[in-house]
Amino acid sequence: MSRFAVAFTGPSGSGKTTLIEKIAKILIETREVAIIKHDPKDKAMFDREGKDSYRFSQIGAEVVVASSTRTTYFSKRKKNLEEIIRIFNDFDILLVEGLKTLPLPRIAIFRNKIEQSYLDCSEAIAIDDTINVEEYTIPSHIEILNLNDTTQIIEWIDNNAKSV
C-alpha cells in the first residue's frame, strides 16, 4: 500500500487548520485521510467542540494531536513520525500541521505578510491577495500557490508528497 505525507506550517492565525480542513474534505471523498496536528504549547483538548481536533474529526479523518510531551490517541508519551504512522491502520495521505522538524514536503501558509523564517523549511508557500509577493525575496525553488485554490494545492500535494 502506498502512503504519502505532506506538512503545513505557518504563523498562528495564518489559516493552516482551515486549509487542511478544506483539503481533507475533498481528499476524503476518494482517499483515506489521516491528520496530525502539532500542539507546541501542550494545551490541546481532544474532540472538544470549537477545537481544531474536533473540527478535523468531524470530517471523518483519523486524527492525532501531537505535542512536545504527549500524543493524544490513548497514549501518554511523545511519538516520532514513524510511531504515529503505526497508530493509523489505513491511510492514503497524511496531512501534518506544524512539526517543522519533520523531513516532509511542506507548504507554508501566510496571510498579510510572509515570515522569512518559514522559507527555510518549506518547498511551497500558499498566500492570498493580502500579500504582494513582489515585496519579498522568495527563493527560486519555492513554489507559490494560491491559498484559496484547493485544486492547485491538492495538485501540488499529489506531485510532492513523500512516501511514508
Residue for grid cell 483539503: 23
Please report the pLDDT score of residue 36 as a whole number. Answer: 82
pLDDT, tens digit, 9 for 90 and up, residues 104-134: 999 999 999 999 999 989 999 999 999 999 9
Distance (Å, whole) CA 100 – CA 97: 9
Residue 147 has which C-alpha cell? 491559498
The 3-class secondary structure across the chain, one letter per residue, is CCCEEEEEECCCCCCHHHHHHHHHHHHCCCCCEEEEEEECCCCCCCCCCCCHHHHHHHHCCEEEEEECCCEECCCCCCCCHHHHHHHCCCCCEEEEECCCCCCCCEEEEECCCCCHHHHHHCCEEEECCCCCHHHCCCCCCCEEEECCCHHHHHHHHHHHCEEC
Please report the pLDDT score of residue 39 as a whole number. Answer: 61
Provide the domain count of the chain: 1
Please report the pLDDT score of residue 90 as a whole number. Answer: 81
Residue 142: partners with Cβ closer than 8 Å, 6 or more residues away:
119, 122, 123, 124, 125
CATH number reported for the structural domain that contains residue 151 in this entry: 3.40.50.300
Please report the pLDDT score of residue 59 as a whole number. Answer: 73
Burial pattern 139-152, b for ≥16 Cβ within 10 A else e, equals eeeebebebeebee
Q: Which domain holds residue 80?
A: 4-163
Question: One digit per residue, pLDDT tens: the chain, 164 residues?
Answer: 688 999 999 998 899 999 999 999 999 999 999 888 766 555 555 556 777 777 776 776 667 777 788 666 544 456 677 777 777 768 899 999 887 777 899 999 999 999 999 998 999 999 999 999 999 999 999 999 999 999 999 999 999 999 98
Asked whether the CA dihedral 52, 53, 56, 58 is positive or negative, the reply is negative
